[in-house]
Structure 1
């Protein structure tokens, strides 16, 4: 038992070390979230060092810790958050310093008595939602003032000046030294949608064409389609980060290179509808599979044609993924137009096959599959027109 636990612990340690190594190599070789994290960490460390040098070494402040501590906390994920956090932190630190000084004066300099008075109040005040994550700094500031034992108005004034110096340095470093601009994640999530949709459509087409798909296969397809909703949520979150990172951020002017602006938000709505149609298609197939199927499966000929149409829809998704990534745009557009023409031909043939269905129950399931695929193809082709026209408008504005 002990040997097994030791082996498991070594495996876990090895996994952690290799994961860190992969992250380091990725940060060195490629731009991305890993490199962004390294840059922000170095900026925070640099801001704290500069704040300490200014207050502790040059100004010889009595409690210079306040400046680097504040600067370190204010190098946040966006410039807007740095400014907002700076204001919140300044408010709570002022409250913490003043309340701790009053508690020290009321207890005649008793450290324990001042803690019993100040810490419960400041800890409770720090939970106020308007103060956000900065609320805890009120209690820690009170703790610093009480344990340091300096509570005169002059000494409290020193604490506030040190805090303001650290706040100015932290915000300035975050805003002026490679200010964070969160554009890449929107592109990543947008590329995931067509890529994962194409993989699902290919898998589904292979199963339908072979005629050996089971209830478990159909349930798996439906689960994968529903999980596209998680990608859409991640995309919405990335949009919010992008909007926030552009507020009060000179990075768009200071940086000459970097990821291009993401496509407009109307592309998100198109993919949301496309994911809904994929979910409806897989739900129908799931209902028509298994021994206790609720729906009647259309004929083998209909399903083979449907599989061919699903393959063309996957080709459209793959072309969209390449267009969004900027990979061989001319070739991707050519593949898109070919898939669009081919999908229309296949749809017409599938519609003829549907008219030959004699069983009303089979026609009900086949009609639902046909309608949902038609709407999915419409969204995919409409998205391509929207995206390419939007890009041309961006290029014209750039010129």
Structure 2
């Protein structure tokens, strides 16, 4: 049969006997195209929903969203004030420099505004001087740009300028685009405009609702505690159903890795919190506007250790689920007991998350119990934990009789659970 005949037969078969297959393929192609076309629409819809949620959150009460609105309006106000002073009051024809600097210097903290003001002011001075010198040498704006911009871009990478080094080159562009003749008074005028904008930006940021990032630490701590409880609940549910394998263990490891990223966010929030109190804490305390204090740094360390224990626990389960490794997974009722233990610990993580979001002076559950402020629920929970621990110890002895492979995994898991319990519900301090 010729190639033409084979092609004709194949075509006939596709359109005739197997015509349904051809139509099904076209339907699949059309469906895939529709899905691809819908993706940008879904993405826009999700973004619009996120914006709407942020607007609602900013309207309802204090939070990150409202802080962002306040800082944005402060930056706009600083720019308008600088323009009013330089352009309207002083009637400066080149008043652009002052509002530009003022807007940029309304930073997340007052300290960063002051620090970046010094860096930016140095970069602006450098850009003005180099651009003016290049204009004097070449007597041509294009030649001056060609001479000054490469040098200023290189000098802008100096570590002392931080992220403000690029303003050396942009200042040169402003200077040369203005067409003002080169003179010492013109250079001084531009530097003076930058100084005026810096003073206005710093003053607005420092005295008009100065940014204090104490709330972020509490929110990140509470989120870390709640997510730790969710990871423990997820592990407990899978262990209780006795339906887990290497893929399930890999999912647990991914959840534990997200906990580690939350720890990184907490570290960043703590750094911002400490910096936001610099140069602002005294005036705010005098005006009685200081927000409630953030939880102590001991809480950061405690939940960092909790995260480390959860990561170690998921790693042990991953090793036990690997068929190519020697350790064997625990079997029988002891696995259900261990799942109950993890669920109890996860419940306490959620209790701690609620406590962190509540009153700063609210006592720890176990400390409150010693002070006579906790109910029977806490006592029953601790009795349940003690009973689970006793039964697991008995199960460990039984597994030891089955060989070291079984006992080693259960012993490691039990040790990590005990470490978690000790961190999440510490012993009360003696008064």
Asked if TM exceeds 0.5, the reply is yes
CA drift at 1:36: 0.9
Alignment partner of 1:228 is 2:259 = yes
In structure 2, do the counterparts of structure 1 residues 147 and 212 end up closer, same or farther at CA, with 3 Å as the change threshold? closer
Kindly tell me the number of residue pairs found equivalent between the two proteins.
Answer: 386
CA drift at 1:290: 6.0
Alignment partner of 1:115 is 2:145 = yes
Alignment partner of 1:346 is 2:346 = no
Within 5 Å, which residues of 2 pair with 1:1-399? 7-108=38-139, 110-150=140-180, 151-250=182-281, 252-253=284-285, 256=288, 259-289=291-321, 291-292=323-324, 294-326=326-358, 334=374, 336=378, 338-357=380-399, 358-360=401-403, 361-382=405-426, 385=428
- Cα distance in 2 for partners of 1:52, 1:367 equals 70
Conservation of the 8 A alpha-carbon contact between 2:225 and 2:349: yes
In structure 2, do the counterparts of structure 1 residues 68 and 223 end up closer, same or farther at CA, with 3 Å as the change threshold? same
In structure 2, do the counterparts of structure 1 residues 202 and 18 end up closer, same or farther at CA, with 3 Å as the change threshold? closer
- Cα distance in 2 for partners of 1:322, 1:35 equals 22
Q: Which runs of 5+ in 1 are unaligned?
A: 393-399
In structure 2, do the counterparts of structure 1 residues 319 and 97 end up closer, same or farther at CA, with 3 Å as the change threshold? same
Q: Which runs of 5+ in 2 are unaligned?
A: 1-29, 369-373
Give per-residue Cα distances to partners, 1:255-274, cap 9 Å, x unaligned.
64575222222222222222
**Root mean square deviation of aligned Cα:** 2.6
- Cα distance in 1 for partners of 2:241, 2:320 equals 16
CA drift at 1:305: 1.5
- Cα distance in 2 for partners of 1:116, 1:307 equals 70
Conservation of the 8 A alpha-carbon contact between 2:59 and 2:66: yes
CA drift at 1:7: 4.5
In structure 2, do the counterparts of structure 1 residues 342 and 239 end up closer, same or farther at CA, with 3 Å as the change threshold? same
Quick check: 358-367 or 49-58, which moved more?
358-367
Q: Which residue matches 2:21?
A: none
Conservation of the 8 A alpha-carbon contact between 2:284 and 2:290: no
CA drift at 1:292: 4.6
Conservation of the 8 A alpha-carbon contact between 2:212 and 2:291: no
TM score, norm. by length of structure 2: 0.82
Q: Which residue matches 1:395?
A: none
- Cα distance in 2 for partners of 1:200, 1:26 equals 27
